Structure 1
């Protein structure tokens, strides 16, 4: 099959932009942040301080409650993600009837069934990657609960600090995976924009990346987190 008859040059260009942005976003963010100034990197310092404080507390009930709240949030997002995947997969495997119903809508720009199925498959793929991130996040947060429960009852300050730092090394990847899962929604929405044409697809992808970078670096939340990090790091 000649794919150039199904996919236009604009489709290929927009898809290339999406793939590059999708896989290069996290390395790009780390390069731009340079260890400071982005929520994700600043939060690693705050979580390290949290785990250090956890290790010296006698009563760690609050720590378990806070982590349990985050675990519930990740479970909610994972469940919602699974429902969306099921819905999109239902459209993908709906056959000719689904394609005819979709192509009858004036706003959708899908010239063939293969193009339509590719567009929906990309949405499913973006959601599936996010679901895997949520699942890995949930598993790691369950490990973190055990870490909090196993915190040693000792007066040795060096041991307490070492335990807190080791706990942070487990918690930070868990929350990073959660962030990656949430980010999957942004790219799934951008992928869905392909249904409205390659130009809308490219614009939605670049807009999603711009919004993510703004919220990471320039949003009020990012500025507040950066201020809190400086306060923690002050001698």
Structure 2
């Protein structure tokens, strides 16, 4: 380990490094776990994907598909809203980076908040900024995927073509349902970023609160995706 690496490691106490490592392991690990678990134990996203495929299957039997276009448009408003909100948050965090000294003094006045240097405070802000940048990219990609789904619905053959067997309803429902499902999955990734941002905020108080907050956020995500009441209703 050279002098530069030692200098970087010395910026934070070892407890902060452990909490930071736990944060990334928990976030990435839960995302991989949720994706794998959905294959064997139906998650909220997996169950709603079944409804999305059923929706697209019903689309092939409609003469006028105005309702389907309206539904997709309404679904796309959520990632659009969050993307716009995230831009404002990113702008606020960038502005806060320019007034680190004043922000540090303000944080020091908060009871139980950790007393850190301006450089360490900047590092915590940069992590929070990175989380929201990630969320912004996921929200905007979700928005584009919804437009792809709208294009598939708009370009679907007439229902008489499906009735005559010249086009497969199941193939269309599989492809279109998967596109809309991918948009929902990407939007879900952005929402997870928002949840994890609350854990990062706890880092301003102490690395212990950071670690506990990360575990708490993962627990909430797990409960909502695999054991929520709405999931039980959708599966019934």
Is TM (by shorter chain) over 0.5?
A: yes
Per the normalisation by structure 1, the TM-score is 0.90
TM-fit CA distance, 1:225: 2.1
For residues 90 and 115 of structure 2, what CA distance do their matches in structure 1 show?
A: 21
In structure 2, do the counterparts of structure 1 residues 100 and 49 end up closer, same or farther at CA, with 3 Å as the change threshold?
Answer: same
Select the residue among 13, 21, 26 that pairs with 1:21: 26
Note the 1:79-228 alignment, pairs <5 A. Answer: 79-153=84-158, 154=161, 155-157=163-165, 159-227=168-236
Alpha-carbon distance between aligned partners in 1 of 2:93 and 2:138, rounded to the nearest angstrom: 19
Q: CA deviation at 1:105?
A: 3.2
Q: Is the 8 A contact 1:134 1:181 kept in 2?
A: yes
Give RMSD over aligned pairs: 1.7
Q: Secondary structure at the match of 1:196?
A: coil
* Cα 1:35–1:50 shift into 2, 3 Å: farther
Q: Distance in 1 between matches of 2:109 and 2:41?
A: 50
CA distances 1:72-119 after superposition (whole Å, capped 9, x unpaired): 111111111111111122112324333333334343214111211111
Question: Hey, what does 1:231 align to over in structure 2?
Answer: none
In structure 2, stretches of 5+ residues that fail to align are: none
Question: Once structures 1 and 2 are overlaid, which stretch shifts more, 101-110 or 193-202?
Answer: 101-110
Structure 1: give runs of 5+ residues left out of the alignment.
228-235
Secondary structure class of the residue paired with 1:195: coil
Answer yes or no: is the 8 Å Cα contact 2:100–2:121 preserved in 1: no
TM-score, normalisation: structure 2: 0.89
Closer, same or farther in 2 for the Cα pair 1:41/1:35, shift >3 Å? farther
